[in-house]
Every structure is written in structure tokens, then in C-alpha cells.
Amino acid sequence: MRLLTQRSLWGWLLAGLGLLAGGTTASAEDPKVDLKAGDPAPAFQGIDDQGRLWKSADHAGKKYVVLYFYPGDFTPGCIRQAQAFRDGMNQLSAKGVVVVGVSGDSVKTHAMFRKSLGLNFPLLADENGALARQFGVPVGKGGEVKTKDADGNPVTLQRSATLARWTFVLGKDGKVAHKNVNVNPAQDVKTVADVIDKLEKK
């Protein structure tokens, strides 16, 4: 009986340590999500780079939603992808599209990233990977990147989770219209624009 109690306590201790560490890798018990075109899109929400709650429900049925997941702020591919969406926003907005980027970075890091690139769309902080898992996006360990702050001083930024680079286009009907798991960062906005054009012709 004593041995069983010790094992039980040890199990609880390990579980507690995992929670405190904020582990982001999926466990064997996590449900596997494999969304396909035509499937209902999960309702989602998150805190944006301004510290405000952003909800997909505010746009459902009225707008196309481009939801793109990316590994981390201030990394080369992610900079190119964000700049491309920034430069294509006028074209997308005219077609009733809203764009939202998601990574495992904090709200503070997102605010720096958006300001440094002059982004014209929100970024959501998904620090524990929960939002990514709703869409089946792989979630890995965190990381860090070295950059400079607004005054030009070097800073090292930490993120608690690293998300795979996947892009979804959600239709006005609330369903997944497009899923891309092999994203070319610089060409992603063109791919999305082509998808929207086809949806508009239906």
C-alpha cells in the first residue's frame, strides 16, 4: 500500500511539474484534428498585439478569414510572410477579407513585431499552442530570437511555443475553404488571393 501511495504521489508531482513548465507538445491523449476543405471551422479567439480579445465570431458569416500560423516573430521567413500580407491587404480588404496571424510569441513581442514592420492586421498570441491545436497545427518547443528594440538596443525575445507554418482560408459560410501545410512565406498572400478569387466566382 505504501509503494502504491508513493507512486501515486510521484505521478502527481511529475504532472504538476509539466503544468508549471507550460509544456506545449501534444500528449498521446490529445485529440487529433485533421481539418479538410468543407469542414466546419472551429470558433476561436485570442489576445491580439494590442491586448484586446479578437474573436472569429465577430467576422463569421460576414467576411472571409485568413488565419495563418507561423513559427515566430522577427525570423526571416516570418518577416517575409508578414510583409507580403501587409502589402496585399488593400487588395484583400476590398474583397471582404480579414487577415490574422498567430504564433507562440507573447503580446508584447507581437506589438514590437507589428510596429517594426508597420503591419495592418492583428497578431494573436498563442503561447500554449491551444489555438493551433484547434486547427491541427503541429506545436513544438519554444525558442528565442535576437533583435533590436525601438531604441536600437539588442534584445533577446523568448517564445514558449513554436507553431508550424500553416495557412487556412475560412469562407463566409464558416467552413474551411482552403488549407495549406506547405506554405511559401513570400508567396502565401498570392496563393490566398487566388483562393478568394475562385470563391468569389462560385
Q: Residues 49, 100: contact at Cβ < 8 Å? A: no
The one catalytic residue in 65, 78, 119, 139 is 78
78 belongs to the catalytic site: yes
* Per-residue burial over 112-149, b = 16 or more CB atoms within 10 Å of its CB, e = otherwise: bbbebbebebbbbbbbebebbbebbbbbeebbebeeee
Q: Which three cell numbers stand for residue 132?
A: 493551433
Burial class (CB in 10 A: 0-12, 13-18, 19+), 16: exposed
Burial class (CB in 10 A: 0-12, 13-18, 19+), 155: middle
Q: Which three cell numbers stand for residue 144?
A: 528565442
- The angle subtended at Cα 85 by Cα 198 and Cα 38, nearest 5°, is 35
Active site residues: 78
